[in-house]
Amino acid sequence: MPEGTDALAARAADGDPAARAELVERLTPLVARLARRWEGRAAREDLQQAGMVGVLSALDGFDPGRGTAFASYAAPFAVGEMMAVLRGSAPVHVSRTGRDLAAAVETAADALTAAHGRAPSPAEIAAAAGLEEEEVVTGLAARRALAPPVPDTALEDAAGTDDAVEALEARLAVGHLLGELDARSQAILVMRFGLELSQAEIGERLGISQMHVSRLLRAALADLDARLG
Amino acid sequence: MSTAPEDVRLQASDPAVAKAVAAPVLLALGARAGFDVARLDEFAIALDIAIASAVPGPVRADMRLTGGRLSVTVSPVAPDRLHGRRVLLEELAAGVAENGDAIALTLDA
């Protein structure tokens, strides 16, 4: 009778290279199945490789005594690594000009939102920033390809309650996926779609800019979308 | 605000390419219609999500600006992928309509 996966994981965690190799072989079908969720959005080999990195990183914290099967425990680690690949696989290179325009657009948009209490149009941003409207569009497009924002403690403090998250999960019909997101993403989605606040209103409530809210919202939705498979 | 219809038809070799190319075009059309950047940004996210519902392989995105209405139709989409995203799309776009293997999103001024 073959050794159980949990026992194998325990030996691998203790540094047994043979157990580690056996574990990789045994969990390859699981990782391949998870990778198929995102077929077409990144190279399958990259996803599977990242997923296996996640599985192996799960060894450190695995405690067989808690009663959770290793495969179940490791799956979220695999998914997390795969999503890192998806986030990093954007085929668009952002030029220096694009970055400069993105910064100029953000500065002008934030000033206009603060002045008028609503998000401005690209034409209004162009007038305020002294840019052509095409340059504003270039800046807006560049923003989408830039790296997601750094962790935002203020927003994590404003995270939605479990009830609010569950209510939004039901409304969006996304199962329990919101509960898998980080607190920051949960909070931004609850405020935008649960409380139905505008980006400008969320920004005002949290003391951050509308453009920052926009970035956080995009990152949260990208994370949720990736988990939808 | 533009009144004559403007059409952009985009055919990409796979969803990742479509996602990279379609959103900037959508933003340009939306800017011409005078939408604010928050609505445009969320509509572009809806487009990303619609493209994520596409069947792996060549993807088509047909965009149209008519007066104050911006629309985009993505095809072919996979029903099972679209199913879990449908409500989310309705939150981000003013209109969502399925037609065969296509999904159409609209944004109104």
Tell me the nearest-neighbour CA distance from B69 into chain A, angstroms: 15
Cβ-defined contact of A228 to B27 (cutoff 8 Å): no
Say whether A42 sits in a helix, a strand or coil: strand
Q: Would you say A194 and A164 are in contact if contact means Cβ atoms under 8 Å apart?
A: yes
Tell me the nearest-neighbour CA distance from B91 into chain A, angstroms: 7
Interface of B with A in 60-79 (CB under 8 A): none
Whether residue B3 has pLDDT greater than 60: no
Least confident of A93-97, A127-131, A197-201, B28-32: A93-97
Say whether A30 sits in a helix, a strand or coil: helix
> Do A93-147 and A150-229 have matching folds?
yes
Query: For chain A, which residues make up each domain, given as ranges?
Result: 5-87, 93-147, 150-229
Q: What is the pTM of this model?
A: 0.69
pLDDT of residue B1: 47
User: A150-229 is classed in which CATH architecture?
Assistant: Orthogonal Bundle (1.10)
pLDDT of residue B2: 46
Taking residues B85-104, what's their average pLDDT?
A: 94
pLDDT of residue A205: 83
Q: Nearest by CB to B37, from A140, A193, A217: name it.
A: A140
What is the separation of C-alpha A12 from the centre of its chain, rounded to a whole number of angstroms? 30
Instruction: Work out the pLDDT band at A157, boundaries 50, 70, 90.
Output: low
pLDDT of residue B101: 94
Q: Nearest by CB to B52, from A41, A211, A217: name it.
A: A41
ipTM for the whole predicted complex goes beyond 0.95: no
CATH, domain range A5-87: 1.20.120.1810
Whether residue A26 has pLDDT greater than 50: yes
Amino acid sitting at position B98: E
pLDDT of residue A133: 92
pLDDT of residue A180: 85
Average pLDDT, chain A: 83
Determine whether domain A93-147 maps to CATH 3.40.50.300: no
Tell me the nearest-neighbour CA distance from B36 into chain A, angstroms: 4
Identify the burial level of A13 via C-beta atoms within 10 angstroms of its C-beta, where 0-12 means exposed, 13-18 middle and 19 or more buried.
buried
Q: Which residue of A has its CA nearest to B14?
A: A40
- H/E stretch holding B71 reads strand B69-75
Contacts of A125 in chain B (CB under 8 A): 37
Q: Would you say A67 and A111 are in contact if contact means Cβ atoms under 8 Å apart?
A: no
Write the pLDDT tens digit of every residue in B49-68: 999 899 989 999 999 999 88
Which domains are delineated in chain B?
6-108 (3.30.565.10)
Taking residues A96-125, what's their average pLDDT?
A: 90
